[in-house]
Amino acid sequence: VCSSDLGYVGGYYGGCNSGKLMRELHKNGPVAVGLSPDSQFMMYKSGVFQQQPVDMGVEWRRVDHAVLLVGYGVESGTLQGDIPYWLIQNSWGKYWGMEGYLHLGPRGHNAMQMESITVAADIISKPSSNTGPRPGARRQKDKVTLAP
């Protein structure tokens, strides 16, 4: 597998935000993103998981966990009112969170630093070396978004 057209969503490191991330997700599908979760992340069961907002102006951000951003929504009727969230699929299996998923919020506040530093790349799958390309076959090209 190789990639082309690698670049930060938003054009530069720190240039992404929730609106740009929503457009990338809508246009190209699920997005792999990096997070900087706290210790409570491992214990998540349901609802909107919230951490303190992270300053978007910080020059360098630590990330130590990758997840798949698959959608977004709004959880209504909470004590805090309506909470916009990101729908995240984690790699820890169906017994973590809500059958492997998390509502991360509030969307628009750089929760766990994921909104500000997303990288996108076009992934090009090469044919297996032992089979060679099929006559008339085109190279498969899928859009995947990678976290830094």
pLDDT at 94: 94
pLDDT at 118: 80
Running along the chain, 148 residues long, what does each successive block of 10 average in pLDDT? 70 87 87 84 93 62 84 88 93 95 91 79 56 34 34
pLDDT at 43: 93
Cα(117)–Cα(67) distance, rounded to whole angstroms? 14
pTM summary value = 0.73
Q: Which amino acid is at 42?
A: M
Cis peptide before 106 (omega within 30 of 0): yes
Q: How many CB atoms lie within 10 A of CB 103?
A: 24
Write the Ramachandran bin of 80: left for phi over 0, alpha for psi from -120 to 50, otherwise beta: alpha
pLDDT at 71: 92
